[in-house]
Amino acid sequence: MALSLMPRIVPQTKDVCKGAVFFLHGSGDTGIGIQDWLRSILDDDFKFPHLKVIFPTAPLRPYTPNNGGKSYVWFDRKNISPFVSEHETLDETAKSLSQLIQTEVDGGIPLSRIIIGGFSMGGAMSYHMAYRYFPQVPGVFALSSFLNNGSSVFKALETVSDKSKLPKLFCCHGDLDQLVLPEWGLNTSKQLQDIGISTEFHKFNFYHEMNFKEISMLREWILKLIPENSSQL
């Protein structure tokens, strides 16, 4: 099942791989698409000396906001809004992504050296993967993303006794975003912070997009969580 996610991989630039970053694209995009987008922003691949970067592609499925037309999306939803319920397809995709992550673990990379994140819907999916399925990872990033009100992520975190060990959160959002309103992203970040999660939230003067400064900050944050000279593996 995980093979259907067709991951595109950017290998580490040095000989030894000491960790992995999963970068999930937004709705209607693909793993190749977001890899190319990052390359156009950075004028190079989004890469690390010691970490591989994995860009899966979401399943092709009917998508309600697209009038039911098929699109590469991690899950269906009634509307792009935090005021609707989460769709059952979210957990279906989580199973496939879990297999993909487990493949890296089976290959020798511990969860303590895997980071999960994404842009827009990819960030929303990453919240679920990190806080519901793989809370052992050190961090999760969400760029221009939000969780639905009453999300199963919040419900799952209520049962965690020691929240200090939960993944750290890095969020960015454009304050001109008209598709995913910045207050939706900020509200998600604040709710998770109130639960006890270590969070960062950065606003930029742009729309529903990514930019150089944002990705540079993300790269620095990843390197703090999984430094190249770390002896763990």
Residue 144 is a catalytic residue: no
Q: 138 with 225: CB under 8 angstroms? A: yes
| Cα Rg of the chain (Å, integer) | 16
Tell me the angle at which helices 121-128 and 89-106 cross, rounded to the nearest 10 degrees. Answer: 70
**Is residue 208 classed as helix, strand or coil in its secondary structure?**
coil
Please list the alpha-helical segments (H only) found in 19-151. Answer: 31-42, 89-106, 121-128
Closest to 211 measured CA to CA, from 179, 175, 187 = 175
Catalytic option among 29, 144, 177, 189 = 177
Q: Which of 81, 87, 112, 208 is catalytic?
A: 208
Reported in sequence order, the residue ranges of 76-225 that DSSP labels E, i.e. its strands, are: 114-119, 139-143, 168-174, 199-204
Of the residues 71, 96, 120, 144, only one is catalytic, namely 120
Q: Is 43 a catalytic residue?
A: no
The answer to whether residues 217 and 202 touch, using CB atoms and an 8 Å cutoff, is yes
C-alpha distances out from residue 65 to 21, 165, 179, Å: 29, 36, 12
Q: For this structure, is 177 an active site residue?
A: yes
Active-site residue set? 120, 177, 208
